[in-house]
Amino acid sequence: MFLMEIPSPIDTFREFIAIQFHDLWHALIFVGRSSAIIVVLVGVIMEGIGVKVNKISGRHLILGGIILAIIIEFGIRFPPDFVMG
C-alpha cells in the first residue's frame, strides 16, 4: 500500500507567502541598489558644477548614497529567514 501525504492548505498558503516575500525582497534590493547609484551620480554632477539646493551640496548626496549602498549590502549579506530558505 502506497501512502501519499497531502499538503494542508495552511502549508500551501505559507509557501505562497514565503515566495511572495522572497520576490519582494529581491525587488527591494534592486530598487535600493539603483537608487544608491543614482543618488551618488547626482551628487557627483552637483559637486562638479557647484550647485547647492537648499543648503545641500553634492557631497551630502554622495555621502547619503554611500550610506544607502552600505545598508543595502548589509541586507544582501544577512537576508531575513524567508529569503535564505
Q: Which tens digits make up the pLDDT trace of 48-69?
A: 898 788 887 888 889 999 999 9
Specify the 3-state DSSP secondary structure of 9: helix
Q: Which of 74, 7, 65 is nearest to 39 (CA)?
A: 65
Q: Report the pLDDT averaged over residues 36-53.
A: 89
Whole-model pTM over 0.85: no
User: 37: which DSSP letter?
Assistant: H
